[in-house]
Structure formats: C-alpha cells, structure tokens
Structure 1
C-alpha cells in the first residue's frame, strides 16, 4: 500500500518491546523515549524566530516523548556508537527512532550481514588487529611520506562465522599511520570513543530479530557489490536482492514494516515486479548527483520523476541537500527536484542529518546547496522544519535520532503556530 502523503501518521508511537532483553539494555518499559540533552542544545543555538519559539514552547511543556517513523536511525546512532552494531541500534531505539537501518552486504559463504559497505571492515571493525587480516583483499600498507596508509577488507573475504568474531569500532582511519594501531585511530573529532568498547556485529537475520524485539520498522539497504557479479559464478544480483527480502518473509515480518532500499534502480524495480507487497515500499536511493544530476536542472534528471512513478516507484530518497536550496533572502526553500517529486506523487525521505560535524562555516557536503543559510548548529532544526513542512518528507535519516524524534513530537505545535 502506498505511504500516506506528507507527514500523516508522523506521531504514531512505536511500542518498544522489552521481552527477553537484559535490564541494562531495555528501552523504557512505558513506551516513552529518552532524548538526552542534544535536541535542547540545538534548540538553544537556533536563531530567534517562529520555529524556535514553537519548539521552545514544546520543550517547556514536557510530556512523554513517543517514537516516530519520521525518525530513522541511520546505521543506528553512529554519532557516538559504532555503526551497525547491536549497541548502536539499541541506542537509536531508546531515542525514539521508529525505523532502523541495516545496510546489507554478503560474506564469502553468501550470508547477509549489516555493514555500510561490502569493503569497509578495515575502517569499521578490528579485523586488521586479528588473524583475519591476512584474508583481506589488500593488506595494510603504512604511510610512506607520500602515499597514505591503506587497506581493504571486505565481507566477501571472510565467512559469516569469521565476521561474527570481529568487533565493530567507530568508522575512521588515520591516513598518516605507520602502524595498524595508528591506522585504526582515525575517528573524526566530532564523534566519540566513549561507547566503542563493545561493538557487537550482527548478521542480517540477527538484525531482524533485534528490530522485532525493539518494536521498530526496518529499512534494509542492499549495498552495491564491490565484487563482480555473479559472485563465485553463480550468485547473481537478483539472487542477492531476493535473499534479502526472503529473510523478512522467513522471520514473519509483514511487508508494511519493511522499506527495502537500493541505489541501483534495477534492484528497486526487481522488488516492485517480483517481491509482491515487499516492493510497495521499496526506496530508490538517489545518488545520481555523482553522475551529473543537478537538482535545479530538470534536464539532468534521467529518468525523470514521471518515469520513476511509471516504474512503480513510490519513495525516492536523495541526500538532504538535493531537496532544498536558498532564495534571494538566503532562506532555505524546497528545490525544483523536491517540487517535481511531490508533483508526481513520490514520497520523499532525506539523508542524513547530523552526519557532518559542527555547522559553523557551511556544514560540508550534506549542506552544500544551502551553505549561505548555515552558520550554527541550531540550523539543524531550521533545515529539518523546511524538509518536514515545506518539502513534505515522510522521514529523515539521522546519526543521532533524538533530534528527529524531538522535532516529530513537536510538529503539532509547529503547525498550530503557523496558522
């Protein structure tokens, strides 16, 4: 069934199931969530205006915060926890993310696991410190004064059992490292190592079981393979795409609880055409900016929005900067790309909030289309408000879901204030 337009249902609470969980890891037993200080820090840093006033009124009239499908945990909560680990997912659920993401890659024995890239084990796990380092596609090479330190370790280099023996770490690498230990110490300074001692890696099946336990919906991303397909001469791209969906069927997850994603339009069309109701909420991750797409120039959108809708695509998910631009007053407004998608009836999801460091100075890649309007961390909420109420996105990926959860819970007050 096609998703409800704009933000209908955004405040629907998601129950956080606590059965079989240890006391220390349980989400709140009353269904409420815990936001912590970050949303209020961002609110205090906002420029004065009606959005800040409405959010302050929401914050000053405390009521239980509820989980929301508008709040999507991007790899869990990787601003502070190692991405795609059990610890990261539990943190995101506690902060009210109604949907959690497992990026799906495959191992040497064709099992599915949660990793952002098929070949990122050297920066997201401790593999280089283990005996499995010898199995990596490219061994560690130290910085030689000219060429940066490097390595490449892929899920397809090792079996599922070997993958499960590893520990997740904060994503990062030191390009000037001369030793493995130095190489692994490359965490960006806006993240933290405080919660990285335990990084429990998960298979895709284990992520499904955990998400069922937490009572959240699921958005698996089929990662574009880094090896030639068919893998090992027999495992085709369609086999891979089908296997991912089949694991939800086997676990008894209803199709309306799953939002399968891919940057490859062929994967999305495969799900729509061959996987029944599981294809209805398939998400086309639009990364065509790397191939010349300009969100201000419809002539560069190939295929265009009408064609995508004709293929049966219901949801499109570009990086957040493609959905917004600035006007002559340097105010953030919807981009022509966003307006066209809305006109063709496509639902939109944006990625990824709080993926960059501090926003002073323009915010970096994720904010490139609106850098003139960005000068403080509080602009996170300014952008989020435009995405929600003007662009009409149905959800936003965030590396720290408390921010999007807080906004979702305050939306009614924002709507009322704008009347």
Structure 2
C-alpha cells in the first residue's frame, strides 16, 4: 500500500480567490499564502508566444472589448466542438495582448477580486518562470510548476504545437532539466508527444466525469470513447501500465472533486474534522484504484463559496458567501489524494496543516 503523505497544495491560476487569475499579483500572493506549486493555463498567440489565460477566448478575463482598435478581431470559432464568439489569443501578437489588462472571471462570486480589474497586464509563461526563479532565490525552496496545455489539438491544427512551444520555452528559460515540472492536459496525445520530444517531467492526464477528449474526437468522431473509459479500472491500469510504452504512460490523473466524493449523497454528519477515520464513508474508491494502478491523483478545484460547493456543504446566504468549506476541504485532503488545486491556497494549507 502506498504510504500517505500530506497532499501538495497547488495555487489554481495563482490565488484567484483574491486577485484576478493568471496575473503577477495572483501568483505572488499564492506564494506568500503557502502554495507548494502554481498552475498556469497555457495558450498561444499569433506569433507563437505562450500566454497565461483560462481559455484562448479572452472576452471574460480581459478588457479587450473596450479596445476599439481590436473591435474587428471579434469573431466566432469552433473550439473542441463548441462554437464560441469573442476574441481569441491566436488572433493577436504578444505585443498587442500586452496592451490589455486582466479582469476577474467570475465577478458575481468574487467582488473583492473584481476591485482589481484593469490593474494588471497579462503574463507570458516566461514571465511566470522568471517569477518562480526569483521566488526561489528569496526563500528556502522554489515553488513548483503544474502547467496545463489548453486545447492542444485545436492549436496544433492552427499551426501552434503547444508541446513544441512549451519545451522551447523551458529551454530558453534554462528549465529543461528543472526538477518538479508537471504538465497536464485533457488530451492524452499532447502528453505523449511531450515525452517523445524529450520531456522527462511528470505528465498528468486531466479527466472529466462526462464527454470525450478532443484529440480522440478529432481522430474518431462520434465513435470516440469517453473519459469514463479512462476512469474504469481497466482504463486506469492502461494509463499506468508498464506494458505500454514510456511515452504513452502517464504519471497521474487529475479529476473533479465530485469524482473523489462517493457517488451517493454526502452525509456530512459522518465526517468531523476531529475524526478523519470516517472519510471513507463519503469518498469513492477512485483514489485507491488509481494508486493501485501506479497513478498519482490530484483533484480540482477547492473553492469556499456557496455557489461553488456541493449542495450538502452550502450554508444560508448568497452564492458569494462562504459555506462549510472547511469540512469539504477536510474530506478531500484526507481522501488520500496526492495534491489539490485551490483558488484560496491559504485555506487549503490551513486545513491540511491543522490550523
């Protein structure tokens, strides 16, 4: 049986519970709040620069709509099978994107964060790597990096191979042999290509509880197996199997918090912070099954707002009010997962460390 250690806390896009996501202020705050690592979402620009945005469509996270010089860039595209209308990073050079300012993505839930709208410019991946280096120089240990490559098949078809661009960025920053670099994606193909190009960091496969990965759909159409095949016992062992090539194996999976909880109703009364032994009563067997297949397990995303919590953990009040987040976080942090993604890293660290 795998020895259980305290799960790592990963600042999900920095500390977006307090500052607009993917900004310098968000990442710097995540470091100060005790995050062990941070997770940027990586997309590409027209000139092949990797930038940090939740999606390549940026109308909800920047002030682009207020720039008349970019009005003609608004368009509709199909991304991973879904039509989207707005402004897309691949239609801008980095110099153009650098004139924009970041905005809170969910202002209705995070009004304090939205007070920082338009304060901060966008960041490149290179900017974050430099920031991590400087943070490490000032402290006992540099934070880790867990980079998510977004819409890899889409960008590959557009002429922007994210795996190649990412490895070139690591090389330029002197990070090629950096220990502790993790790359994750909802598409297995790009993880395989990373290994084939020489990446030897950890690769984590992101799995949703429904739908099918975009790379499979692009290759197989409606016949593409869904994520549920990967989440089966056979699928988990296939992902971690030594019988597969080293390029095809992955080091771990990352799943939604709901997939770690039991499929039935969560009986909160069964679990108290003082008695972690009852956690098995309200969690699924996914973590143990994945561990038995040799896979690390991460889960996303720990958030305290009522509107983001399962119904059983909500309290009276507005969606933006914080619910029974401490108990929810406790269950997940005691479930055996190897790491959690949190929008408020300090809250997850406090629960993990018993503070």
Q: TM-score over 0.5 for the alignment?
A: yes
The equivalent of 1:130 in structure 2 is 67
1:205-224 alignment to 2 at 5 Å? 205-215=126-136, 216-224=143-151
CA contact (8 A) 1:118 1:226 kept: no
Bigger CA radius of gyration: 1
Structure of higher RCO (CA pairs closer than 8 Å, 6+ residues apart): 1
Counterpart selection for 1:324 from 254, 261, 269: 261
How many residues are paired up? Answer: 304
How far did residue 294 of structure 1 move?
A: 8.5
TM-score between both structures, scaled by the size of structure 2: 0.76
Shift of 1:223: 0.6
Pair 1:404 & 2:343 matched: no
Shift of residue 171, structure 1, vs aligned partner: 1.2
Question: In 2 relative to 1, CA 383–101 (structure 1 residues): closer, same or farther, beyond 3 Å?
Answer: same
Find the counterpart in structure 2 of residue 230 from structure 1: 157
Q: Is the 8 A contact 1:353 1:397 kept in 2?
A: yes
| Shift in alpha-carbon separation, 1:229–1:249, aligned structure 2, 3 A | closer
Q: How does 1:18-37 map to 2 (within 5 A)?
A: none
CA RMSD of aligned residues (A): 2.9
Q: Which residues of 2 match residues 150-299 of structure 1 at below 5 A?
A: 151-172=85-106, 187-192=107-112, 193-215=114-136, 216-225=143-152, 227=154, 229-231=156-158, 235=159, 239-253=161-175, 254-278=177-201, 281-291=202-212
Q: Deviations over 1:356-391 (max 9, x none)?
A: 6326xxx55xx3xxx4x42345632223223232x3
Q: Gaps spanning 5+ residues in structure 1: where?
A: 11-68, 140-149, 173-186, 412-419
Moved more, 195-204 or 391-400: 195-204
Deviation at 1:403, TM superposition (A): 0.7
1:314-336 Cα distance to aligned partner (Å, 9 max, x none): 11101111111166882462213
- 5+ residue gaps, structure 2, are 77-83, 137-142, 213-224, 242-247, 271-280, 316-321
Q: Contact (CA 8 Å) 2:305, 2:323: kept in 1 or not?
A: no
- C-alpha contact (below 8 Å) 1:103/1:116 kept by paired residues: yes
